[in-house]
Amino acid sequence: MKELKILGVIIFFTLVTYWGVEPLAHSIFHPHVEPADFEFSDLPPVQGKGEVATGKELVVANCTGCHSIKSQGYPAPLDNASANASYGVVPPDLSTAGKIYNENFLANFIKNPAHATKTEHKFVGGKVHPMPSFNWMSDNDIASIIAYLKFIAPKEMTNREVFVDACGRCHNMKYAKIKATSDVSNYMGSTPPDLSMMIRSRGEHYLTTFINDPQKHLHGTAMPRVGLTQEAEEQVIAFLEEIGDSKKEEREALAPYVLGFLVFMAIISLLWKKEVWSEVE
C-alpha cells in the first residue's frame, strides 16, 4: 500500500512535468488552426457549363504552349532546364491535374493563380506569377477546360505518382530518389526543403492542415497552396510515411510480442519475488 502511494507521488510529478514540456509547450509552439478545408470555400464557385470537346480545343489553344500533356501525346515545348530558366519553374504536365486537384480550386487557379495559391505577397513590385491569369475567360470556358482535364485524368494513381505530380516539381525527396524538376530558389526566395523525413519532423496531424493551406502554419511562406483533393493529400501523406517511416509496420507488428514477453516476465518475477521474500518476511 505504502509503495503504491510512493508510486502515485512519482507518477504525479512525472505527469505534471510531461504535461508541461510536451502538450502545453506544443500548444504554444503550434497554436491551434482550423481543420483542413478541402472545399476551398474561401474561393468563389465557378459555375459554368463545361463540355469536354470545347475544353479540348481551349486547352490546345491556350495551355499546350507551355504545358505538356504526355498522356494525350502533347510533348513539353521546352526541356526542363530551358523551361526552368524561362519561367522560374517547370510548368506541370496536365495529364493528372483533373484527378489530383480540387475542381473549384483549379478553376480559380486558372483565373488568378497567385490568388488561388495564396502567394500574392510573393508577387509584388513588378513580379508576376509564372502562369498568367486567364480571368478574361468565361466561366463556361473554364468549366470546359476542367471538364476536359477531368475526362483525360487517370482513374487510379499510386501514392508515388501523386507525390511526384503534386510536390516533385519543387521538392527533392532524397530517400525516394526523387529530384525536383525545377530550381525555384530564385523565384521563391529559398530552396524548398527535402521531404524525406517530413513525416517524422512534422507528423501527420500538422501535415494535413499544412499541405491544405501552408499559410495557416507558416504565415507569409512562399509555398503555394496547391489545392489537392482530400484523396490526393492522403496519398501524399501516405507516401511521406512510406519513405520517412518505412519501418512503421514492422515496428507495430513487433511491439505486441516484446510487450507480451515483458508482461510475462513481470508475472514470473513477481512469483519469484514472493517465494524468496516469504522466507524473510
Partner 1 sequence: MAKFEKANSVGEWLDQRLNIKMLNRVLMTEYWIPKDINFLWAMGMVLAFTFSMLLISGIFLLMYYKPDVNMAFDSVNYTIMQEVAYGWLFRHIHGVGASVVFLIIYIHMFTGIYYGSYKRGREMIWLSGMLLFVLFSAEAFSGYMLPWGQMSYWAAYVITNIFGGIPFIGDELVVWIRGNFYVADSTLTRFFMLHVLLIPLAILGAIGLHFYSLRIPHVNNQKGEEIDFEEESGKYLAGRKKQSKVIPFWPVFIAKDVFVLSIFLVFFFYLVFYHYDFAMDPVNFDPANGLKTPPHIYPEWYFLWSYEVLRGFFFDIGPMKASDIGLAAFGFAQIIFALLPWLDRSPTVAPANQRPYFRCWFWTMMVVLVILTIFGKLPPTGTNAWVGFFSSITFILLFLILPVVTKAEAKKVASNKEGE
| Contact footprint for partner 1 (CB under 8 A) | 2-3, 6-7, 10, 13-14, 16-18, 20-22, 24-25, 28-29, 174-175, 193-194, 196-197, 200-203, 244, 246-247, 250-252, 254-255, 258-259, 262-263, 265-266, 269-270, 272-273, 275-277, 279-281
CB 178 → partner 1: shortest distance, Å?
14
- CB nearer partner 1, residue 17 or residue 186: 17
3-state secondary structure at position 63: coil
Residue pointed to by grid coordinates 517511416 = 245
Measured from the CB atom, is 85 or 253 closer to partner 1?
A: 253
In the bound state with partner 1, the residue whose beta carbon lies nearer, of 128 and 271, is 271
Q: Which residues contact 272 (CB under 8 A, 6 or more apart)?
A: none
In the complex with partner 1, which residue's Cβ is closer, 75 or 189? Answer: 189
Identify which of residues 4 and 124 has a Cβ nearer to partner 1 in the complex.
4
CB-neighbour burial class of residue 96 (10 A; exposed 0-12, middle 13-18, buried 19+): buried
Q: Are the beta carbons of 49 and 140 closer than 8 angstroms?
A: yes
DSSP bridge partners of 101 = 228
- Min. distance of Cβ 53 from partner 1 in angstroms? 48
Cα 162 from Cα 233, distance rounded (Å): 8
Shortest Cβ distance from residue 184 to partner 1 (Å)? 17
Q: CB 10 → partner 1: shortest distance, Å?
A: 6
Nearer to partner 1 (CB atom), residue 128 or residue 259 = 259
As measured in angstroms, the least distance from the Cβ of 194 to partner 1 is 7
Give least dist CB 22 to partner 1, A: 5
CA dihedral 20, 22, 23, 24 (to 10 degrees): 40
- Strand (E) or helix (H) holding 58: helix 52-62
- Provide the Cα torsion 181, 77, 95, 123; round to 10°: 60
DSSP output for 221-251 = -SPPP--B-HHHHHHHHHHHHHHHTTTHHHH
